[in-house]
Structure 1
Amino acid sequence: MTAPSDPLAVSSAIAVACDRELNEPSDVPPTSTHTSVTLRARVRRRWAGSSGRTITASHGDTGVVPGSDWVLHVDLDQFIAAVEVARRPELRGRPVVVGGAGDPTLRAVVATASYEAREFGVHSGMPLRLAKKRCPDAVFLPSDPPAYEEVSAHVMDVLRELPAVVEVLGWDEAFLGARTDDPEALADAARRAVKAATGLECSVGIGDNKLRAKLATGFAKPAGVYRLTRDNWVEVMAGRPVTALWGIGSRTAAKLAELGIGTVAGLARAEPAALAARFGPATGPHLRRLALGAGDTDVTATPWVAKSRSRETTFQRDLTDPEEIRQEVRLLARRVVEDVRAEGRPATRVVVKVRFVPFSTRTRGVSLAEPTMEVDRIEDAAVAALARFDGTRAVRLLGVRAEFAGGPP
């Protein structure tokens, strides 16, 4: 994997490749993730709207021109913490950590942390006990999903008053698709409208596709607006680590590092054949297209459809008895079956999630012989998936996920 030594030549080569590939059709689907049966997932379905309208960002050889379609990504800043502070104004300016029952002596993880708490190294997904060690003076509050759902619903309704198609991503974020010659003005209008209606701040990323709009939001935070398009993609992103790209995590980054790839520019100029050999014929080229800034351009209000249903439990004591662990998995599987039947869609695959002591998480899955909503078959599949784990390690969390076949019910 040789590369030009001249930085200007590198930038020029990437820009040319970006222009070429963004206008070529791709067989690679956008990055997707399985969605659990969380309120975050349910609100997407509830608020996605039913109009089915779609807007597609258009591209020309010289980039997006005035009057063309734009993608905006609206992200509520520190959403859960902000809702809690709005309910308790006396907490403004103090480090606030939300998660579990709000008791850092119990096993649970941080749902969100205020910016003040983040300055101490507290972040989402961190055990509450560790958050307490890092920020002893933080205010710990229990998670209140119904309250967040209500506020989020209000925010999405506010966004729908704007001249744009709204695609809900979760409690705290949405894509807007709009035809305008001044996307910054629309972004500012969105920020002002949300602030006036709820008192909450949001950041807005502007892009010529979803990937760039999503990444732009990171540069906009907090409470700002940022535009990222093919025009400034190389300047802004080329020298950043591959983990800066939406869809590339630490594990993929480690595999890329084995190929000598550490930056967005390095990935953009990587040999497609080498990437395909390491990651597969679909994922390899897809990773390179991410580095080139390629992304989906459709923003749609079509109702969101869940890809899975899941349940999980964090235990206040470590589980070491294999039979007890199996029984807990069976119990979770039965709860998942209730959700599957309520959805009215049979499961095609069952996945078990195990978090071992101290905090390492692994998943294993089993495909079903045929789609089913039968409790015995889903239970048995969950137990079979559990058998693929190391049964000698202590367990602190278990989860079961039932995945559906693609397409709407």
Structure 2
Amino acid sequence: MDRVILHVDMDAFFASVEVKDNPSLKGKPVIVGGTSERGVVSTCSYEARAYGVHSAMPLFMAREKCPHGIFLPVRHYRYKEVSNKIFDILAEVTPIIEPLSIDEAYLDISHLKKNPLDVALYIKKKVYRELGLTLSIGISYNKFLAKIASDWNKPNGIKVIDKKMMPYILFPMNISKVYGLGKRTVQKLNNIGIFTVKDLYDIDKEYFEEYLGKHSLDIYYRIRGIDNRTVEVKRERKSYGRESTLKHNTNDINELLKYIREFAEEISIILNRNNIKIRTITVKSKSENFENHTKSKTINKYTNEFDEIYNIASEIVKSIDFEEKVRLIGLSVSSIEEKERNMQIRFKI
């Protein structure tokens, strides 16, 4: 029996959450990443994308492309809160979930005796009804094709790719869309006139392996509709953290502690909502010369209390001799004691 894999991907997640929380932003070019010139775009609304703004773009460049954009700071604690609710809905459908990020996951629904389209529509409708957010879902018989399908008609899209469509449906696609081909490899292939999946498909197997090297056969088979990777359930997370590039380089302890306090509060909220406790607190900094430094402390008991996390983190900060000014400061917690939450499949159509 063929597997049935869903790839669920939220639409412009951070920006969509900001619009949901502040409806006056609807229809406007919202750019999440910060209000300074030194960070990068985390996510932007589709209205901002129309100006050429995209994730990972430096904020100063985003301002040049979209001078009337609404620039907002990243609120990790809020996105995590919404993400938890989304994953709770996904867990109603199947326990076989592989999170890829805070807003993206694979689901294996091969065991469900239900029409995959009905399952996908149930997820889309419930997320929109309860959270007011849209998502796109790809449906196929393997992970590679499911991910291709979810991106097919974003936003708020749904797409099925079955065996009858293969491999021809992929032929017009740019090779940059093929999972496993990095930027350098794409450029290398472009240099010899290979731009589409059809171009790639026409290369014989021996040359394919010789020219692309490691993992080349995985890609050779993927563009032929063969991908045997399973959906891997990942429950264990080793750390939680926040960091921020500062508006101005500084080694002022009081200013650094303001960031640490904000991070400790956000992390504590996430830990409490997920019934998680930790024992190790780590402060990270990056100097103006781009040198990374970390310092940790492990305590004798597990905690998720803001006061304890902040007090320990502030002790760490005060113990560091910041000879150079700092351009980035961060806080993370680890050594996790996590109590499993009971998951029940409550999915009904």
Q: Which has the higher contact order (CA 8 A, sep 6+)?
A: 1
Q: Which structure 2 residues correspond to residues 175-324 of structure 1 after superposition, within 5 A?
A: 175-179=106-110, 180-280=113-213, 282-304=214-236
Local SS of the residue matching 1:260: coil
* TM-score (ref. length: structure 2): 0.68
Shift of 1:144: 0.7
In 2, distance between residues paired with 1:242 and 1:181?
A: 34
Contact 1:205 1:220 in 2 (8 A): no
Give the aligned partner of residue 116 of structure 1. Answer: 47
285-294 vs 202-211, greater mean Cα deviation: 285-294
Shift of 1:182: 1.1
Contact 2:94 2:107 in 1 (8 A): no
Shift of 1:273: 2.5
Q: Which structure 2 residues correspond to residues 9-408 of structure 1 after superposition, within 5 A?
A: 58-59=1-2, 69-100=3-34, 102-103=35-36, 106-163=37-94, 165-179=96-110, 180-280=113-213, 282-304=214-236, 328=289, 330=291, 332-335=292-295, 338=296
Structure-2 change in CA distance of 1:264 and 1:306 (3 Å): farther
In 1, distance between residues paired with 2:210 and 2:231?
A: 33
Contact 1:204 1:220 in 2 (8 A): no
Which amino acid letter does the alignment assign opposite residue 68 of structure 2? D
| Structure 1: runs of 5 or more not aligned | 1-57, 60-68, 318-324, 343-395, 400-409
Q: CA RMSD in A?
A: 3.1
* Offset from partner CA, 1:315-369 (integer Å, 9 cap, x none): 857xxxxxxx988555x2435xx49x89xxxxxxxxxxxxxxxxxxxxxxxxxxx
Runs (4+) of structure 1 exceeding 4 A deviation are 304-307, 309-317, 325-330, 396-399
Which amino acid letter does the alignment assign opposite residue 334 of structure 1? T
| Structure 2: runs of 5 or more not aligned | 250-285, 300-325, 330-349
Local SS of the residue matching 2:226: coil
In 2, distance between residues paired with 1:233 and 1:247?
A: 19
Contact 1:120 1:134 in 2 (8 A): yes
Shift of 1:297: 4.3
In 2, distance between residues paired with 1:187 and 1:86?
A: 22
Structure-2 change in CA distance of 1:316 and 1:294 (3 Å): farther
Shift of 1:236: 1.8
Say how many residue pairs are matched. Answer: 265
Shift of 1:289: 2.1
* Offset from partner CA, 1:19-72 (integer Å, 9 cap, x none): xxxxxxxxxxxxxxxxxxxxxxxxxxxxxxxxxxxxxxx43xxxxxxxxx3100
* Offset from partner CA, 1:221-249 (integer Å, 9 cap, x none): 11121011332132321122211212323
Local SS of the residue matching 2:62: helix
* TM-score (ref. length: structure 1): 0.58
